[in-house]
């Protein structure tokens, strides 16, 4: 298990946790992660060929009994305050990718919000923004 991770790894770990919370990573969620990696400034310098390795590292940690707690601790310790809202927003994007946000995903968002010490009004605004973006016509 890595002792420290980069900001980019931490953000990817959050997306992996969100996508895996229902026990599997859907194709829509994986495509969303790849899209976010290609388009967001936070990942501009990330070597996308490392994605599989980073996903596997996170998955390996999550297999342990206290895996989610460990990953959340790594993420919280690594990310500066300004990236904690970004991490939450990325989790929301991944959850919304398949246009259905299930009970497990909502529960994980609450856990993530608390682990990162985010304000409930801020997270509600992030969630509302995703709802507005993913409205079907």
Condensed to tens digits (0 to 9), the pLDDT of residues 61-95 reads: 999 999 999 999 999 999 999 999 999 999 999 99
Q: pTM of the prediction?
A: 0.91
Give tens-digit pLDDT for 13-44.
999 999 988 777 778 888 889 999 999 999 99
The model's confidence at residue 3, banded by pLDDT at 50, 70 and 90, is: low
Task: Give 28-34's long-range contacts (Cβ < 8 A, gap of 24+).
Answer: 28/97, 28/98, 29/94, 29/97, 29/98, 31/97, 32/93, 32/94, 32/97, 33/94
* Fold type of domain 7-133: TerB-like (1.10.3680)
Which residues, at least 6 apart from 48, have a Cβ–Cβ distance to it below 8 Å?
A: 34, 37, 38
Closest CA relative to residue 130, chosen from 55, 38, 51, 32: 32
Q: Where are the domains of the chain?
A: 7-133
Give tens-digit pLDDT for 113-129.
999 999 999 999 999 99
Structure tokens at 85: 């809202």
Query: Cα–Cα distances in Å, from 2 out to 58, 60, 68?
Result: 10, 11, 14
As a whole number of angstroms, the distance between CA 109 and CA 88 comes to 8
The pLDDT score that the predictor gives to residue 96 is: 86
The model's confidence at residue 135, banded by pLDDT at 50, 70 and 90, is: confident
- Chain-centroid distance of CA 83 in Å reads 12
Lowest mean pLDDT of 4-8, 42-46, 97-101, 110-114, name the range: 97-101
As a whole number of angstroms, the distance between CA 97 and CA 120 comes to 22
Look at residue 25 and give its three-state secondary structure. Answer: coil
């Amino acid at each position: 298990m890595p002792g420290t991770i980069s900001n980019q790894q931490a953000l990817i770990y959050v997306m992996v946790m969100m996508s895996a919370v229902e026990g599997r990573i859907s194709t829509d969620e994986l495509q969303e992660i790849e899209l976010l990696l290609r388009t967001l400034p936070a990942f501009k310098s990330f070597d996308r060929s490392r994605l599989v390795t980073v996903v596997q590292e996170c998955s390996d940690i999550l297999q342990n009994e206290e895996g989610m707690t460990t990953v959340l601790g790594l993420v919280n310790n690594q990310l500066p305050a300004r990236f904690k809202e970004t991490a939450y927003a990325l989790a929301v994007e991944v959850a919304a990718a398949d246009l259905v946000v299930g009970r497990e995903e909502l529960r994980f968002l609450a856990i993530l919000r608390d682990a990162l010490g985010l304000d409930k009004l801020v997270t509600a605004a992030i969630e509302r923004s995703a709802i507005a973006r993913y409205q079907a016509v």
